[in-house]
Amino acid sequence: MKNVEIPGDAPRRFNTWRFAVPIFLTVAAVLYLVPVYVLLTTSLKSMAEVSRTSVWALPRRPTLEAFREAGLALAPGLKNSVLLTVPATIISSFLGSLNGFALAKLRFKGADLVFALILFGMFLPYQVVLIPLVQLLMRYRLYGSILGLIVTHVVYGLPITTLMFRNYYTAIPGELLEAARIDGAGLVTFYRRILLPLSVPGFLVAVIWQFTNIWNDFLFAVTITNDPRSQPVTVALQGLAGSLVARWHVQMAGALLAALPTLVVYIFLGRYFIRGLLSGSLKG
């Protein structure tokens, strides 16, 4: 990423400014990383050390004891999170792409109103749908199941994925569709052969965004899955914290395990995550 240098910076401040800024930014970076230090050091301590030392002390005898314990406790949750996040991410991104195609390229009367009504779902305080959602899922015997959570995340993921793909496809020239039509391609062919291959960056943004959000969700998960066997990792982690007062090393190891998948995605594909982040604020 390139940074813009201000031309003709006032020479008298030039030196102090030049040195102060990197120092300030570095101090800020260190502060932002404090919780990472705490996570890593505490999770490598033994029970005895956690109870004797402060949050800031380095582990004297690093051990993976806490990770073993947290891993055992969270393994079902981690598995459930994968089973839930992968299909929900793929389905909601694909549906978003179809909606975006229809709303940006094909258009119809009232398309803007339909889009606005879908979009509002993005900002919904989900508390306002929880009771009917639980009732509906119970009626269809989906309450407490991973499938119920998948359905929930697909539906409430539609607004953001639709927004992302609509904006993405708006930037693709309309002549492409015309040209394809002249060559005798139908809409399905156009979507599959031309639009989909062009959508790879769009899918990366949507998939990464949805993956992160669904993996990290807590409200739907804690409301819909009352059974420990179908709980995702966020709920399992919260349960771990509730039942293990003062066993902070296990909690920190658990928090690290729960955070690892989204963190790894961020480290390698952060660029797309940032794009997803900013697409949420429309064209602000």
Partner 1 sequence: MSPQKRDELAAIALVMPSFFLILIFVYGFIAWTGYISLTDWRSMIPSYNLVGLRNYAELFALPRFQADIRNTVVFTMLFLPGCTILGLALAMLIDTGIKRGGAFFQNIYLFPLSLSFVVTGTVWAWIFNPTAGLNVLLERIGLGFLRSGWITDPKMALFSVAVAAVWQMSGFAMASYLAGLRGIDNELREAARVDGAGEWETFRYIILPMLRPVTMSVLVMLGHSSLKIFDLIFVMTNGGPANATDVPGVYMFVATFLQDLFARGACIAMVMLGMVTSVIVPYLVRQMRREVSV
Binding positions for partner 1, 11-40, rule CB under 8 A: 13, 17, 21-22, 24-25, 28-29, 32-35, 38-39
- In the complex, the smallest distance separating the C-beta of residue 64 from partner 1, rounded to whole angstroms, is 19
- In the complex, the smallest distance separating the C-beta of residue 269 from partner 1, rounded to whole angstroms, is 10
Quick one: which of 70, 73, 74, 118 contacts partner 1 (CB under 8 A)?
A: 118
Residue written as tokens 């709303």? 103
The number of helices, as runs of H, and strands, as runs of E, in the chain is 13, 0
If binding is defined by CB under 8 A, does position 133 make contact with partner 1?
yes
Tell me how many residues contact partner 1 (CB under 8 A).
100
If binding is defined by CB under 8 A, does position 218 make contact with partner 1?
yes
Under 8 Å between Cβ of 261 and 232: no
Whole-number Å distance between alpha carbons of 105 and 99? 10
Under 8 Å between Cβ of 165 and 99: yes
- In the complex, the smallest distance separating the C-beta of residue 61 from partner 1, rounded to whole angstroms, is 18
Pick between residue 63 and residue 238 the one whose CB is nearest to partner 1.
238
Q: Give the residue among 246, 238, 258, 272 at the shortest CA–CA distance from 85.
A: 258
Q: Give the residue among 216, 120, 218, 221 at the shortest CA–CA distance from 162.
A: 120
Please give the single-letter amino acid code of residue 72.
Answer: L
If binding is defined by CB under 8 A, does position 128 make contact with partner 1?
yes
Whole-number Å distance between alpha carbons of 46 and 67? 10
- In the complex, the smallest distance separating the C-beta of residue 3 from partner 1, rounded to whole angstroms, is 4
Quick one: which of 11, 15, 16, 54 contacts partner 1 (CB under 8 A)?
A: 54
Give the number of other Cβ atoms within 10 Å of residue 33's Cβ: 11
* x/- track of binding to partner 1 for residues 70-109 (CB under 8 A): -------------------------x--xx-xxx--xxxx
Please give the single-letter amino acid code of residue 159.
Answer: P
* x/- track of binding to partner 1 for residues 155-194 (CB under 8 A): xx-xx--x------------------x-----x-------
Whole-number Å distance between alpha carbons of 13 and 117? 52
Under 8 Å between Cβ of 235 and 222: yes
* x/- track of binding to partner 1 for residues 226-265 (CB under 8 A): --------x--xx--x------x--xx-xx--xx--xx-x
Quick one: which of 27, 48, 55, 75 contacts partner 1 (CB under 8 A)?
A: 55
